[in-house]
Chain A
Amino acid sequence: MAHALREKVAISGLGETAYTRGSDKSGLALQLEASLRAIDDAGLGPRDIDGVIPYFPGGGIAEDFVANLGLPDLKLSLFVPMGGATCVAALQSAAMAVASRVCNHVLISVGRTGYSGARVATRLQQFPQFALAAEFEAPIGLFAPAQLYAQGARRHMALYGTTIRHFAEVAVVTRRHALLNGNAVMNKPLTVEEHHASRMIADPFRLFDCSLESDGGAAVIVSATDRARALKKPLVTLMGVAEGHPESPASIAQRPDLLEFGLAKAAPRAYAMAGVGPKDMDLAEIYDCFTFTVINQLELLGFCKKGEGGPFVMDGRIALGGELPINTHGGLLSQGHVVGLNHVIELTRQLRGEAGKAQVEDAELGLVTGYGDMGDGSLAILRRAA
């Protein structure tokens, strides 16, 4: 029997601000600007929104949405505290809310001043989930995700022979894709040599292995399929969605296998719900806080075996025109860092046929992942409705 949520829910509206380095707007203003665009994209009015899931911590909260958008009857206010896995996991929470008719239209949104405001090591201190790392790992010199995730990357290299050439391929391909969309922070091509020559951040991660600190806002609207069908844009439905939480969720150090995290649990559930597998995907938008993170997730998603993610990304396979185009918008590495809500937006755009120069021909089915908060994972599978 089909899963109760499968195809019952659609992504009905998409909104983004410009992605920039530097902004005179607050994170909240960027979040609201993107939200208004998403509402307009759907053909709705602000007062139609009756559920909000803002990214937290940072940016606006429900009170801000009621006050700014004049929401007459907000019925649901949620946080999904999963760091980089938040936005895709929020699709699951929103889906439950609209499929059950608790809400009509749920707004998921992010506003971030990652360049002009607090940087990553400071932002992390706002997370209750960071308390363990703050007590045990910050004093010995580990503060930032780059450092905390570098140890897993180093182990993958030692166990499986993964190389910085593989990392570079992810960075270079992603940059090439970013140059196609007209709204990316990075606007010059990147070569493998430039990647290798970039300064070391936390070995084995160089500068160009790390995602951007940027300013911007992004928003999507989730509506029940029957309601979305009556709206403005081509229908893109949620086939499968799941979130997963790893062992030792607040400490990577104590996790039995550093290379197995929440996505390993979420992926089989999302695939089963959708009734499809990795081989069916026309494209994939993979949360790319680091180049290596993409390689690791491709394995957990079943596109290749454990340890084979490095070779998998080579030879044009993940580029537009290849077997599995990934991060067709430039991702967090080259487009902008809005915690991966830009990945959800890009996948939906691709399935609508609105992806411009980056359009994957006849894209019908794709997936998008979230990854963060020391290893939480999330996966959504979307399909263009017939």
Chain B
Amino acid sequence: MSATANPAAVERPLPTTPTRDSRPYWDGLRQGKLVLQHCASCGRVRHYPRPVCPHCFSMESSFREAPLGGAIHTWTVCHHPFNFFFKAQVPYIVALVDMDAGVRVNAPLRGVAETDIRIGQGVRLRFEPVSEEVTLPYFTVP
């Protein structure tokens, strides 16, 4: 089916292939939680999820709920969609955020004027269910 034939039917691109490693992260979002991978040996957090801790090489890990606060590291405002679904969304802001939990999350930033964004600004992660299976993160200013 051609995407252009019926633009109303264009579906949001979804993370269709969570890996065995990343499944707990996506399950967490669906439950309204930021769940991050921690090394069972040295305790360090890592993101995106992967099989081996790059610090101590342990293959054991556990996923734990993390705080939702963070500070803007940088951002972009997307004007050209590069994708049919996002054609209806432009312009949209995507902020890269240094989470208090020690990793970064890239997600849309909503409710803020482009001219008011600054590096270091505090934001909070929120959750938007986009299908039965998938919940995506976004940020607002608290």
Contacts and interface: CB of A to CB of B under 8 A. Distances in A.
Interface string B80-103: 101100100101101010000001
Interface string A136-153: 111111111011001110
Given A136-B106, A154-B74, A201 B79 contact: yes
B107 interface: yes
A291 to B, nearest CB: 15
Nearest to B86: A141
Interface of A: 120-121, 131-132, 134-144, 146-147, 150-152, 154-155, 158-159, 199-204, 251, 253-254, 258
B137 interface: yes
A148 to B, nearest CB: 9
A41 to B, nearest CB: 37
A136 B48 contact: yes
Nearest to B14: A139
B83 A147 contact: no
A199 B47 CA distance: 34
27 contacts: A120-B82, A135-B22, A137-B106, A138-B13, A139-B134, A140-B107, A141-B78, A141-B92, A142-B78, A144-B82, A146-B80, A146-B82, A147-B82, A151-B73, A151-B94, A152-B74, A154-B74, A154-B75, A155-B74, A158-B119, A202-B77, A202-B80, A203-B76, A203-B77, A203-B78, A253-B106, A254-B47
A160 B120 CA distance: 15
A147 B106 contact: no
Interface string B96-123: 1000000111111000001000110000
B18 A121 contact: no
Nearest to A124: B82
